[in-house]
Structure 1
Amino acid sequence: MKKKSLYIAGICAALSVGALGCASSAKAGDEETKPVVEDTEAAEETTAAETICVYGPVSEVTSDSVTIDNQSGISSAGEMVITFSPETPIFDAETGNPVDMTEAETGTVVYAYIGEAMTMSEPPITNGQLFFVHVTDVSAVPVYTEIESVKKSAENDDTVYVKAEDGVTYTISAETHILPYLTRNIVTADDLEAGKKCAIWADAEGKVSRLVLFQQ
């Protein structure tokens, strides 16, 4: 696959800022989803201990994969093919709405949480577990993580503190929009439990504006 030139003025500098947000959630993800690589003749698989977050500008989108120039400094650098299925969560990073991967235009940045295996082919191929597209502010990219613990405020108000798997603590308040993923079920802070996966939109202080909860 021939690598396309994607760079526009300033994109490399912006992506370097985004490395901080991506690295903070490197331990998050659904470890039960096992990557399936159909091109078994390309090479053998290598495994990683955990789900990781990679990102970079898009060079190609197909019906079941997206090719990015991985600039996260994590995993394989450069061109990477990340597969997905109709069930793979894909979010608009700004609105939090589910979107189709076709909305990821060439040259725009995509953040991807990838699975445990990757081919040794060129470019390498791996399975995506969740994507954020339409990233315009790389300093405030949402995270995909697992809840480690939940603690209610001592003031007996509506505040709840959620500690994520990567050790970051987020503040859930009455203003936080807590939504289920692709269901009409009503979810509240009472549904936040250790072991559940979620996508979190938060500010620099950890105050959460939106949380999408994945039901198990």
Structure 2
Amino acid sequence: MRGRMTMKRYVKHTICALTAVACLTGGASAFASEAPQQAVPISAPIVPISAPAYEIMQQNWLDSIMVYGTVSFLEDGRIMLENNNENAQFDKIILNVSEDTLILDAVSGLPKSIKDIREDEIIYAYVGPAMTMSLPPMTHAELLLTSIPADFAVPTYEEIDNVKQEENGNVIVHTNRDATYTVTDDTELFPYLTKNIVTKHNLKPGTKLLVWKQIVQGEGAEEAAESTKMMVFPYSYNGYVQAGLENLYVNDEKLELAASEQPYVSNGRLMLPFRQVVESLGYTIEWNAETSSIKVLKGDQEQYSFAARGTEFLKGEDTYTLTEAAALKNGVTFMAADDLLLLSGAKLVE
């Protein structure tokens, strides 16, 4: 099976600015001839000045990988899948099926159970990128699609990366599968396992979808996939963040930052003002002046704590290492975007 086996998703940003030096013109000399002198501009070369480069590792959600094949046996919550993809790295893979695994009918999207899966049945599975080193490898199944008719266009499991509202009321969504869909009033949207009404205006970065498509003829000889219906899953993030050196948005709202709160780069990491981002995501914080430490709460439940200049954070009884030490500058606490997104359960928006 081919796919990214990395445990981190890298998003690289490089911002460049150019400065130009104004042209200088020379005046006529007192000893010049009476003929008019042409001013000759003297230009200094344009020198590029690059802002510090940084990268953000989105750690809190890893892209699942799609595999498909024939079920050879089922036993104790495990499925042996004979990989039907001829380009796959492994010809067999073991899927661990837990209570968190979604098992859905590929046609209707209705829930099914592992007992409904038969040997010799072809299924599609979305699995975690982390696999054991054993042969065949083992991995956790996030979603299984079953009861697939012959020659059926199997829906795809995707997550929205970006959303754009058009003037005509349509919504353009771009997903982590590098797909773009136009959602109109005619697009069928329905929720997973609830009777709640969902509309195109409920779609936002981080929303997970099951997308049914049909192939339509585009301009010329080109073909394109057009969504016919979408199942919308419950939102699993605490919000979404768009971060850069010049602007910082949380849930599409621009944060108004003082001069001392502006993001900066340290050791290749983008440092963000901690309180401003976390409180915008619905958390509250408690500052301990004696220990210069911060406690983060959701409602009245403590989520984690850390020292303002520390390299670790405490969650429950476990201690974890930050990718970059937290910083305290001019009375403002900063944390690397990598760590802040992970701890806050926020989706990164490019």
- Considering the TM-score relative to the shorter chain, is it more than 0.5? yes
Q: Residues 70-99 of structure 1: CA distance to partner in whole angstroms, max 9, x if unpaired?
A: 122565422211011122111111112111
Q: Per-residue deviation at 1:138?
A: 5.2
TM-score, structure 1 length as denominator?
A: 0.69
- Give 1:172's aligned residue: 183
1:92 aligned partner? 105
Mapped pair 1:56 → 2:56: no
- Deviation track 1:102-148 (CA, whole Å, cap 9, x = no partner) reads 22222121111110211122322111111111122456111111101
> Counterpart of 1:89 in structure 2: which amino acid?
L
Does residue 182 (structure 1) correspond to residue 201 (structure 2)? The answer is no
Distance in 1, Cα, partners of 2:150 & 2:185: 25
Q: Determine which structure has the larger strand proportion and give its number.
A: 2
* One of 162, 172, 176 as aligned partner of 2:173: 162
The aligned amino acid for 1:189 is K
SS of the aligned residue for 1:190 comes to helix
Q: CA deviation at 1:51?
A: 2.2
Q: CA RMSD in A?
A: 2.6
What's 2:114 paired with? Answer: 101
Q: State how 1:1-216 maps to structure 2 within 5 Å.
A: 32=60, 50-73=63-86, 76-137=89-150, 140-156=153-169, 159-205=170-216, 206-215=225-234, 216=236
Question: Identity over aligned residues, as a percent?
Answer: 31
Q: Does the C-alpha gap of structure 1 residues 99 and 32 become closer, same or farther in structure 2, counting only changes over 3 Å?
A: farther
Looking at structure 1, the residues matched to 63 and 86 of structure 2 have their Cα atoms a distance apart, in angstroms, of 16
1:96 aligned counterpart, secondary structure: coil
Partner of 1:179, secondary structure, is: strand
Aligned residue pair count: 172
1:71 and 1:77 in contact (8 A); partners too:
no
Q: How does the TM-score come out when normalised to structure 2?
A: 0.45
Deviation (angstroms), 1:193: 0.4
Unpaired runs of at least 5, structure 2: 4-58, 217-224, 237-350
Letter in 1 for 2:230: L
Q: Deviation per CA, 1:176-208, whole angstroms, max 9, x where unpaired?
A: 322222233222111100122111111124332
**CA distance 1:105–1:121, change in 2 (3 Å):** same
Q: Which runs of 4+ in 1 moved over 6 A?
A: none
The change in CA–CA distance for 1:74 and 1:183 in structure 2 (over 3 A counts) is farther
Tell me what 2:296 maps to.
none
Mark the structure with the bigger radius of gyration. 2
- Corresponding letter in the other structure for 1:108: E
Measured at CA, do residues 108 and 193 of structure 1 come closer, stay the same or move farther in structure 2, by a change above 3 Å? same
Matches of 2:213 and 2:163, distance apart in 1: 16
Structure 1: tracts of 5 or more residues without a match: 1-18, 24-30, 34-48
Q: Pick 1 or 2: higher relative contact order, CA cutoff 8 A, min separation 6.
A: 1
